[in-house]
Structure 1
Amino acid sequence: MPHILRSTQWQGGPAARTVGTGAEVVVGVTEFVTHRPWSTLSVGAAGLRLRRTWPLTPGAVGMWLWVDMGPRMNRSGSITVWTAHEHLLGFVARPDHRRIVSDHRDRGTLRSAAWTAPFTSPAALRESAWRLVSKTAPWPASSG
């Protein structure tokens, strides 16, 4: 069975209306690979719960959640867009986010990457991030 990557639709955040074309934004990609495929469901459910409160985060421009529907179905993650690195770090430090990371720490391996890019459209940003998700581009050596 081939891998089928699925993602949610773009969900705009509070800063989506204030970011103009050409403005520099921060794109963040996370990938969580579970040790056991049956753990993927609880990780995905936690991501969906976090997605409900995500639009309240200052500096949030937009996001997608994604899942690999391959034979093992053990990869999932997010693509997020922020107005500045400080806002991305503020989200990572939120108690609800830290709790999810802590709850799933021993269930798999997390890696992430972030870079700045000019904002042209959500679709263009997703396309560049999707290269990591789809494994058509290598993850940066500094991803952790």
Structure 2
Amino acid sequence: MSTPKSRLLRSPWRPGPAHAASGTPVLVSVTDFTALGHGQAGAIALAGLRLRRTWARTPGAVGMWLWTDPRGKRSGSVSVWADERSLGDFVARPDHLRTVRAHRGRGTMRATSWTAERFDPQDVWAAARLFLTRSTKGIS
């Protein structure tokens, strides 16, 4: 019996206030939240949309995509940053901390980040998609 492939749906690119100069390295961060149930999946996806509304005013943010796999009760983000400090500042923001605390214990989270030598949207999305579509068995 074959397992149905996950289907990732992606939002349009949302630019931030930082610009990735040609040839300048960027930090890429990918999050993957798997909810315990469909109700939690919808709630966390909605919380992500709320955070996305602030993106144009988020210091150091080059831009981001939100993504979801509704059948898999999964959602998350692929965000691109000017530097590690900007990502750290965002993670420590009160609205982000409220979101994390509100959904703690309602699913599992995995994440990764890497430095890309330059920002190429197709390359960044392809690398993120590879992380998001590989097996999650044994990962918490």
Q: Does 1:13 align with 2:23?
A: no
RMSD: 1.8
2:35 counterpart residue number? 34
SS at match of 2:28: strand
Q: Structure 1: which amino acid aligns with 2:78?
A: I
SS at match of 2:130: helix
Matches within 5 A, 1:79-94: 79-94=78-93
Q: Does 1:54 align with 2:63?
A: no
Q: Structure 1: which amino acid aligns with 2:46?
A: A
Partner Cα distance (2:85, 2:42) in 1? 30
SS at match of 2:22: coil
Q: Any conservation in 2 of the 1:21–1:118 contact (CA below 8 Å)?
A: no
Partner Cα distance (1:107, 1:92) in 2? 19
SS at match of 1:106: coil
Which ranges of structure 1 fall in alignment gaps of 5 or more residues?
none
Which ranges of structure 2 fall in alignment gaps of 5 or more residues?
none
Give the TM-score normalised by structure 1: 0.86
Q: Structure 2: which amino acid aligns with 1:103?
A: A
SS at match of 1:63: strand
Question: Which string of whole-angstrom CA distances, capped at 9 and with x for unpartnered residues, describes residues 84-143 of structure 1?
Answer: 00001111000000000000002111121111012242222111111111227x8xxxx9
Q: Any conservation in 1 of the 2:6–2:133 contact (CA below 8 Å)?
A: no
Runs of 4+ in 1 over 2 A off after TM superposition: none
SS at match of 1:87: helix
SS at match of 2:105: helix
Q: Any conservation in 1 of the 2:14–2:55 contact (CA below 8 Å)?
A: no
C-alpha deviation, 1:2, in angstroms: 4.3
Partner Cα distance (1:66, 1:4) in 2? 10
2:104 counterpart residue number? 105
Q: Any conservation in 2 of the 1:14–1:55 contact (CA below 8 Å)?
A: yes
C-alpha deviation, 1:44, in angstroms: 0.5
C-alpha deviation, 1:54, in angstroms: 2.0
